[in-house]
Amino acid sequence: MKTAIAAFALTLALSAPAFAADKVLEHHVAQMKTGDLEAVLSDYAPNAVVVTPAGAMSPNGVFIGKDTRKLFTILTTKDNLPGNKTMQVTYERLAPDTTLMRWVQFKGTPKQVSGYDVFVIRDGKIVFQTVAFDAAKK
């Protein structure tokens, strides 16, 4: 009986960060779909690092700390909201604090864009994110 309880407790302890990460990512995606900039930013640690493809959003593609506001100001505009609203996601946990999110916008249309983000989440905040995507077909 003690062994079963210990095994269950260990499972819960190892899963706790994953549950927290799931909630952070669910909140993040929901807020991206509504275009709520402040709510999106609330998911990030003050010193978070977000890496996008160079030239896509900035010359070097790296946003650190307060610079993440610049990136998400662009991504939550009314021009980007239609794509955000159509976003479909799947998650794959790579480590207790690291999740791969595959996403697609405008699925099945000529405007389809897909990609993936890798998130590192610690203490309920995104501390690192990298983004890769395939451009819409023209």
Tokens standing for residue 19: 């549950």
What pLDDT is attached to residue 55?
81
What pLDDT is attached to residue 10?
41
Cα–Cα distances in Å, from 19 out to 97, 99, 133?
10, 11, 26
What domains appear along the chain, each with residue ranges and CATH number? 17-134 (3.10.450.50)
What pLDDT is attached to residue 134?
85
Q: What is the pLDDT along the chain (138 residues), one digit of tens a residue?
A: 445 444 444 444 444 445 566 889 999 999 999 999 999 999 999 999 999 988 887 889 999 999 999 999 999 999 888 999 999 999 999 998 999 999 999 999 999 999 999 999 999 999 999 999 886 555
pTM of the model: 0.81
How many degrees, rounded to 5, is the angle at CA 126 between CA 80 and CA 46? Answer: 95
What pLDDT is attached to residue 127?
96
- 113-119 long-range Cβ contacts below 8 angstroms, 24+ apart: 113/83, 118/94, 119/21, 119/24, 119/25
Tokens standing for residue 21: 């990460």
